[in-house]
Every structure is written in C-alpha cells, then in structure tokens.
Structure 1
C-alpha cells in the first residue's frame, strides 16, 4: 500500500473514532459464563480437518497460514454486529490483506452468548462442518450462519441441516446433531477462554498478534483494523 493511501486511512480513522460509535454484543471476560445447558452458492469440496493432539480443532484460517501478522476475529454467530461485519466489512479487509496473502486471518469462537444455547450450538455446527469437510466448507457455512443469525433462537436443528444442504454438502443430520449436542464444546470453550485471557468483553473483537485493536462494528472499524494491520506489517517487514 502506498503512503498516500495510508495517510488517507489515518485521516479517516482520526475523524471516525471521534464521531462514530461502535456497536457490539457485550459479555463478561472470564471465559466461563453464559453456559446454556439446554447470491450464487459455491460448490464446496474438501477433505476432513485433522484434530490437534488434544482432540480440539485448529482455528479456521484464510490468507497465508505462515504470515508474520495474524488477525484473529472473535465472534458469536447470533451477534447482529458480527453479522453486520461479515456482510459489510469483511470483504474490504479480505481484498486488501487476505487475498494478497499478507496476513493470517483466523476465526475464533466467542459465544457471549447472544442466544443461549443457540450461540454455542451454532459454533459446534460450524466446527462439525470444518471437521467433516475442511477449511473452505467451514467459511462457507459460517457465512450462512451469520446471514441467518436471527434464527438461532428457534429450531436450530432444521436450520443447521438446511444450511448444509444449501451448500451441497453431505452429513446434514450429523452436523445438526453435533450442533444441538454441542459436540465441539472443548474447541469452542478453549477459544472463549482465550478471549477472556486477552481481555475481550464484546463481539466482534479484532486481535492482531495477540493484542486487541477494537471491539464492535461501526463505520470506523475497517479503517481502524486496516491501519493497525498496516503498522504491524511495516514492523514485521
């Protein structure tokens, strides 16, 4: 990115942070609470994702997995502000930093939960898609969950099955069962505990190389995150 673009962004950032409030879904930062007990479609084909040695799944990744700069975004699938970010903010970051391979972009689960137990169940359903069908399928399924975030307070089993079928994947019933039964709670809880350790109290939260940049989503969010990424990339060059 040239110097003029960076200067323009910093000007926008300086204006935006003073005038635009960010909206986010708020929760505690202990990593333990909120534990409820109770366009055209892409063709997604990929292999299963191997688990780590402790049985948990790795973070879903876009961009360059070996990049020196990591942007981790902590999200709750039922959070309307996370949905807004995915609908109107993610593509700009992707075109500037992810598609070029400049950064490693991670999804991290942080159920507030906005919907209890729907937030937890959606996270497990998405992770089951990751486990069965791989990274690309995970991202496609996650996108659909955000698009249907309002339905996570209703019949989640039918929702989970429908979204699998919409993507042309197999195992819809298995994905729905894993979601309803919260089969991937160990993976989801590990992410949420990490969020607490970092100090995250709301979603979406944007963390670059382990440091919180901003939480919530508003008109200044992409500029704030992009400016911080520019700085991190410059420091790592």
Structure 2
C-alpha cells in the first residue's frame, strides 16, 4: 500500500466503526423500503447550499431523495432506476437531483459512509456515491466495511488532507444531523423516500417519470 493510501486508511478508520459493525448479512441489515412518507407537521426542508445537487441548479423540477448507504433498497434503486432518470431528466437540464442522508442500520457505518460522501467536492461526489452503492452488496458478503469505505475514497480521488480536515470538522456532523432532523420533521420513515417539488412520490421509475413530466408540462 502506498504512503498516501496508508494515510487515507488511517483517517477513514479513525472515523469508522470496527469492521464487525457490518458483520451481518444483507438480510440482517435494515434495507429501507420504497414508500411515501407519513403525514408530517412540516414540509420537506427547502434546498440550500449545503445540499448535494446533481444537474442544473436552476432546473424547473427538484427531486429530493432521502437515502442510506447501508440500505439495500437504496443501492438497488441507484443501480436500476437512477441511470435512466439521470439520462432522461438530469443530464438534459430538466431536473435537479438532491441527495440527502438518512442513515439506517448498521447506523454507525451508514453515518461514516455519509460523512465520507459529504467530504467529497461536488465534482467528486457522484463517483463516491456510485462506489458506495455499487459496492454495498460485496461489503455485506465479505463483511469488510473498511475496504468498502476505502474504495469510495479512491473512486472519488479524495485527498488525505481534504478528508482529514473534513472528518475533523464539527460542521460535517452538524450537516448530517440536520439532514436527519429534516427527514424526521417531514415524516420520512424509511429509505429511499422521494419528494418532487416538495410533494412525496413513489420511487419507481414510472411514478417519477409521470410526476416529472406533468410538472414540466405545467411549467414547473
């Protein structure tokens, strides 16, 4: 292992729970589920500069996803639904896609993964998310959470100083806590959960396409 990789591993492992935290099968882990959120007393929080956004920031339609990097349904959605959504609506400037974190079991590991993703720049973020989601099944099979996290760091080309400064910054944890609180206030009870222009919608491709297309035809 190179010196840079060794340093990265040390930084990650200092923030991560022991590998044994992920020592369970995918079936034992909380997988989340696709559903509309329960009734909420407050609307889903507005998009801010702290959000991770893909696509045109001025797009007429906003899709917000609450997800967990340890949620099997989230990984499946990212692998099976997101590519088509991205190609049709995000890459064409019609949708801005907002990723928000709602860590699920094993919670400590999900929180660490979320912090690693948050440490990425806007340009690095998609690669980190792809690596975490695509590598999730192997992580559960091998029970090697450390390799999973390191794979995401390497995929995003996160630097040692960048990662260390971010993980040691109290603001990173505060932003994660704010995402969780906002989800709870909005009645989100599972992952992945989706909102389009503030309204809950099912996460299957047909439902997302129908809602987005209707809003675009109505001028957003």
TM-score by length of 2: 0.70
Measured in 2, the distance between the counterparts of 1:88 and 1:122 equals: 21
Partner of residue 11, structure 2: none
Residue deviations 1:39-71 (CA, integer Å, cap 9, x gap): xxxxxxxxxxxxxxxxx9711111110122100
Residue deviations 1:83-138 (CA, integer Å, cap 9, x gap): 00111110110111001001111111111x12121111110111112xxxx21201
Matched, 1:137 2:124: yes
What pairs up with 1:30-179 in 2 under 5 angstroms? 58-111=50-103, 113-129=104-120, 134-150=121-137, 151=139, 154=143, 156-171=145-160, 174=163, 178=167
Matching residue within 185, 188, 192 for 1:200:
188
Matched, 1:187 2:175: yes
**CA 100–64 in structure 1, closer or farther in 2 if over 3 Å, else same:** same
**CA 60–235 in structure 1, closer or farther in 2 if over 3 Å, else same:** same
Q: Would you say the 8 A contact 2:62–2:95 is kept in 1?
A: yes
Measured in 1, the distance between the counterparts of 2:152 and 2:171 equals: 18
RMSD between aligned alpha carbons?
3.3
Matched position secondary structure for 2:202? strand
Measured in 2, the distance between the counterparts of 1:102 and 1:173 equals: 32
Partner of residue 19, structure 2: none
**CA 227–109 in structure 1, closer or farther in 2 if over 3 Å, else same:** same
Higher mean displacement: 194-203 or 221-230 = 194-203
Measured in 2, the distance between the counterparts of 1:68 and 1:158 equals: 39
TM-score by length of 1: 0.65
Matching residue within 21, 32, 52 for 1:25:
32
Q: Would you say the 8 A contact 1:125–1:176 is kept in 2?
A: no
Q: How many residues align?
A: 179
Measured in 2, the distance between the counterparts of 1:202 and 1:213 equals: 13
Measured in 2, the distance between the counterparts of 1:147 and 1:63 equals: 21
Residue deviations 1:135-190 (CA, integer Å, cap 9, x gap): 120111011011122437955444323332244442289369829x9872211121
Partner of residue 43, structure 2: none
